[in-house]
Structure 1
């Protein structure tokens, strides 16, 4: 573990499937020799697994794959064209499996957000997932209410030329309108913010937002560009 690394956030990314292949392989290797990381991943997998039972699987029509196989076995204009079709089919099947897995993970996160009604657990770490519709998450945010440190990490978000991402907070007892928490300085890694001025109970109920703003931040003190929103859910039992 590196200094300042958020083990629970890394475990959440691993369990949600938001790491790329190289990162996932590295974490899988690390969990074999780091008991704390392995325990955090197992805890996330245990929390998500029951929620995935609520997602009803949808099977493709029974005739679909036999029809595709029959079409592939039929004579084609030339071998190279058949090879291209087979390659496209392989990519299509891989994409379908990946999309199904991602949809299941996102459904689990949404179910967590909608059904968690119990008081805050002993663990003071909470997370929020920022995604646009049914797409893969754009950002993952975690807040340690005990230290009042916020960490925001891009998942699929990319730098936008001549623009910047800005973080906001709004909520009862904090501000009736979005209040800036500063810029997301690092779109390739983690950005951390200190929230000492906010009461932990108010942070727990707050709504966070990330908007796209001109370079240097919003000129009005309010979000001016497209924004994503998220609320906190417990990250531990």
Structure 2
């Protein structure tokens, strides 16, 4: 399957990450130096802070249960040594539970920040926005996604470290009520991506539909469904 959808704008993503406080010390210093010399970028950061402030107050920390990674490793297929090595790599680099909350907020807020749709006639009732948290079979959060029905776009964010698993592609699948997976495209580790939905698929994005990410050969699955192991899965729910 070929990849679809543009990557998120670098400046906008950096401003959001600075406002959320998820940058490293070096990245934060570079961002603040740029704010001092670039009023437009400083204004972007300020807008993100104002937009996210009320949402962040509702996010509480969640402790990861003891022995979580040991259970993940035991749940992996015994004959998939490559995947086992990758999961061990992710254990040392994956974000914690607050990273999951921040990425989920960034996904929803980034959709909300897009230019408004101009309404010239009274629109029909709009379906609610949906989001999903995709986790491994052991409960480890790995991806977050949000769907905006007004723009018919899925925003997905990987919680893994950039550059993790360079020998495989991670492919996002929509699994609607009929149980047949439909590919939405590829998501590189540690990145966020907006995926426009094809008209015939937009109606399948409903509350309770599942999203899954599979580990595929480079370039994605060559079949009509996942050809590699499913790394994470979750269901869409109302925001």
Task: Calculate the TM-score normalised by the size of structure 1.
Answer: 0.52
Residue ranges of structure 1 left out of the alignment (5+ in a row): 57-98, 110-121
Match of 2:57 among 20, 23, 46: 46
| 1:160 match | 165
User: Equivalent residue for 1:213?
Assistant: 216
Q: Which has the higher contact order (CA 8 A, sep 6+)?
A: 2
Q: Are the aligned partners of 1:168 and 1:210 in contact in 2 as well (CA < 8 Å)? A: yes
**What displacement does 1:129 show?**
2.9
By percentage of residues, which structure has more helix? Answer: 1
How far apart are residue 41 of structure 1 and its match? 1.8
Does residue 143 (structure 1) correspond to residue 154 (structure 2)? The answer is no
Alignment: residue pair count: 172
1: CA distance, partners of 2:238 / 2:13: 11
Superposition pairs of residues 81-230 of structure 1, within 5 angstroms: 102-103=96-97, 125-132=129-136, 133=138, 135=140, 137-157=141-161, 158-172=163-177, 175-184=178-187, 186-187=188-189, 189-195=191-197, 196-199=199-202, 202-227=205-230, 228-230=232-234
Residue 148 of structure 1 deviates from its aligned partner by 0.9
Deviation at 1:32, TM superposition (A): 7.2
Q: How far 1:26 moved relative to its partner?
A: 7.0
**1:190 and 1:177, CA in 2 relative to 1: closer, same or farther beyond 3 A?**
same
Is this contact kept in 2: 1:11–1:44, CA < 8 A?
no
Q: Which runs of 5+ in 2 are unaligned?
A: 1-6, 36-40, 64-93, 104-125
- Does the C-alpha gap of structure 1 residues 161 and 5 become closer, same or farther in structure 2, counting only changes over 3 Å? closer
In the TM superposition, what whole-angstrom CA distance separates every residue of 1:121-148 from its partner, at most 9, and x where no partner exists? x99544333343454x433323222101
**Could you say which structure has the larger radius of gyration?**
1
SS in 2 for 1:223: coil
Distance in 1 of aligned mates of 2:129 and 2:27: 23
Residue 36 of structure 1 aligns to a residue in which SS?
Answer: helix
